[in-house]
Amino acid sequence: MALLEVRNLEVRFPLRGGELTALRDLSFSLNQGERLGIVGESGAGKSVAAFAILNLVSRPGYISAGSVLFEGRDLASLAPEQLRSIRGNRIAMIFQDPMMTLNPVLTIGTQMVECLQAHREISDKEAREIAVSKLRSVSIPAPAARMDQYPHELSGGMRQRVVIAIALLTEPSVIIADEPTTALDVTIQAEIMELLLELCENNNVALLLITHDLGVVSQVTQRTIVMYAGRIVEEGATRSIIDNPWHPYTHGLIDALPERTHRGQRLNQIPGMMPSLSAIPEGCAFHPRCEHMTELCQTQIPGYTLRDERRVACHWVEKQGESR
């Protein structure tokens, strides 16, 4: 049994012009200690998916269908107090922008101690000791002194280390990291990513890594999910997806990687843009940008083709499989 199992999750935002479905039919599972990547362009619904798992979709959005099974309980329908005891305790989250994630008027120490005390009966002194040791484990210099500092006294990289330390405080079994290095200076992105990877490996924490960067996913994760316009279009082992992408969109993403581009050549961007979720084309959402587009693609949403422990939502791939 998987540690975390998301089934047919759907998230909607009631907006003035009608309801917007930001996430459709999201299903995947995450095993103990596994590292799973979710990739997709900006606006694909990755963050919505991350928050939906913790049942933290921002208002007016709501989970309109599906379930999130964690240790036998459905987070999508759990009572608030039980949900609270899982958030930040069993499943922790790391946000994109460390400059905005920490509360500006509370000290680092306060923001760490409160998290421990929200989940355990523990004295201030004990909580502080654990907090300092976690700060040390994310290689923050002079960890004890940091406890009394405010976020604005730390650099972006240091703040993200603090956020990672907070995520590790309660020794969760899952960490959801939503683009944890995107907002950071390029020079420290790799450093933070490596730290996260190392900590997850050492503590046997399952990692759900959300990113728009297939390069990062290929270095960190064992399995990859590719999202497009609020839906999973391809899923499989990271290696096999990178080496042999099935979905034309995944193909495009890989071709666009800087290391696949020859020197002096322009980046191989996929032509066109991902549609806004409020104006998803009929049929396959990717069809206007797809070189293999047929009439079928314009009218019918492709179902999932399952093969070799992979799945893909593409009429073209499905047909190839039949003819083979």
Partner 1 sequence: MIAFLVRRIGQALVVMFIISLLSFSIQDNLGDPLRELVGQSVSEAERQKMRDSMGLNDPFITQYWRFLKKAVQGDLGNSYFFKRPALEVILEKLPATLELVIGATLIILILSVPIGVYCAINPRSWFTKVMMGISIVGISIPVFLTAIMLIYVFSIWLGWLPSFGRGETVTVAGWETGFLTTDGLLHLILPSIALSSIMLPLFIRLIRSEMMEVLEQDYIRFAWAKGLHRKRIWFIHALKNTLLPVITVGGVQIGTMIAYTILTETVFQWPGMGFLFLEAVNRVDTPLIIAYLIIVGLIFVITNTVVDLIYGLVNPTVKLARGHT
Ligand X SMILES: Nc1ncnc2c1ncn2[C@@H]1O[C@H](COP(=O)(O)OP(=O)(O)O)[C@@H](O)[C@H]1O
Binding region for Mg ion (CB under 5 A): 47
Sequence-ordered list of residues with C-beta below 8 angstroms from that of 178, at least 6 positions apart, any chain:
46, 47, 50, 93, 94, 95, 96, 210
Q: Residue 173's closest CA among 51, 87, 49?
A: 87
Two structure tokens written together for 296? 């079928």
DSSP, collapsed to helix, strand or coil, labels residue 10 as strand
| Distance in angstroms (rounded) separating the CA atoms of residues 125 and 291 | 62
Residues 165-197, buried b or exposed e (16+ Cβ, 10 A)?
bbbbbbebbbbbbbbbbebbeeebbebbbebbb
Site for ligand X in 43-62 (CB under 6 A): 43-48, 58, 61
Q: Is 317 in the site for ligand X (CB under 6 A)?
A: no
Nearer residue to ligand X within complex by CB, 135 or 253? 253
DSSP, collapsed to helix, strand or coil, labels residue 158 as helix
| Site track 32-71 with partner 1 (rule: CB under 8 A), x = hit | -------------------x--x-x-x-------------
| Distance in angstroms (rounded) separating the CA atoms of residues 261 and 287 | 24
Asked if 32 contacts 6 with a C-beta cutoff of 8 angstroms, the reply is: no
Nearer residue to partner 1 within complex by CB, 45 or 252? 45
Choose, by CB under 6 A, the member of 52, 169, 206, 277 that binds ligand X: 277
Choose, by CB under 8 A, the member of 64, 101, 221, 224 that binds partner 1: 101
Binding partner of residue 22 among Mg ion, partner 1, ligand X, none, CB under 5 to 8 Å per kind?
A: ligand X
Total of residues contacting ligand X (CB under 6 A) = 14
Q: CA angle, 30 as apex, 25 and 31 as ends, to 5°?
A: 155
* Least distance between ligand X and beta carbon 176 (Å): 12
Choose, by CB under 8 A, the member of 13, 28, 70, 95 that binds partner 1: 95
Site residues, ligand X (CB under 6 A): 13, 20, 22, 40, 42-48, 58, 61, 277
Site residues, partner 1 (CB under 8 A): 51, 54, 56, 58, 80, 84-89, 92-93, 95, 97, 100-107, 114-115, 118-119, 150, 152, 163, 166
